[in-house]
Every structure is written in structure tokens, then in C-alpha cells.
Structure 1
């Protein structure tokens, strides 16, 4: 049976994540309130951030930045706008 959540990003009920996708309290909040569709939106945004800012997920400073951006994306002001970014 599909798990449904009231998605904080989409503003409607949608299919929830199948498992925790991130550790800790932030991961629990995401699991409880973010849909699969919204998680995919975050993954696209995260890829843009990694590429545009040349981040390395193994660098602790970059990981902290991505975690802060994830928190803003889901529970704060939304995605960070990147100057001069033009999707291909």
C-alpha cells in the first residue's frame, strides 16, 4: 500500500517517500512531510547547486551548505536563485 503525505512543497496530498532519504531530524521531517515528487524536485535543484558552485559532497563545508539549502527548499524560503543560470 502506498504511503501518502500532505506534502509541504506541493501543498496537497501525494505519494510519500518509501524510506528515510537523509539522516537525523531533518531526514525525519522530510520523510513525514515531503512527497516523492517534491524529493525529485530537490534532487534536480541539488544537482544544479553542485554543478554551478562546483561543490563536492565529500567536503564537510559543501555538505553543510547543501543541507542548509535542503532545509530552505523544503521548510524555508524555497530554492536559492543562482545568478545568470540558464537551464539547457
Structure 2
């Protein structure tokens, strides 16, 4: 039987992660309060941040930025897209 959590992002009960996806206190907090679906949304958002800001994951400043954005995404005001970002899945992005 799947482990269920009250997901902070989805606002209801959903299947939880099997283990903490990140080390330390933040990872434990995510494990207890974030669903698999919400984690996948973060992965997609994080990928967009890496690409749009041209971040290198091994750079300590980039990692610090991503951790701050992850906390905002799940437990804060939300992580915003860069102003110049155009969603390739948006219907309006195909109009030129």
C-alpha cells in the first residue's frame, strides 16, 4: 500500500515519496509533506530554472539558489519563472 501524505502543493491527500529526495531537514520536510506528483512538478520547474538561468548544478551558488527556490516552491510564496520565459507548451507560444 502506498504511503499517503497531505501534500502542501496539491492541497490534499496524495501518494507520498518513498524516501527523502534531498538530504537534511529540508529533505525530511519534503518527504513528510510533498507528494510524488508535486515532486515531479518541482523537477520540471527546476529543469526550467537550470536552462533559463544557464545554471551549472556543480556550482555552489547555483545549488544554493536551487535550494532556496525549492523551499519557496513548496513552503513559501512559490518559485517564479524568469520574466522572459516562454512556456513551449502554451498555446500562445506557437503563434508568431
CA distance in 1, matches of 2:17, 2:3: 7
CA distance in 1, matches of 2:47, 2:81: 13
User: What pairs up with 1:1-88 in 2 under 5 angstroms?
Assistant: 1-88=1-88
Q: Which segments of 5 or more consecutive residues in structure 2 lack a partner in the other structure?
A: 89-96
TM-score under structure 2 length normalisation: 0.89
Alignment deviations for residues 34-53 of structure 1 (CA, whole Å, 9 cap, x no partner): 00000000000000000000
Indicate the SS of the match to 1:57.
coil
Number of matched pairs: 88
TM-score under structure 1 length normalisation: 0.97
Indicate the SS of the match to 1:19.
coil
Pair member with larger Rg: 2
CA distance in 2, matches of 1:4, 1:13: 6
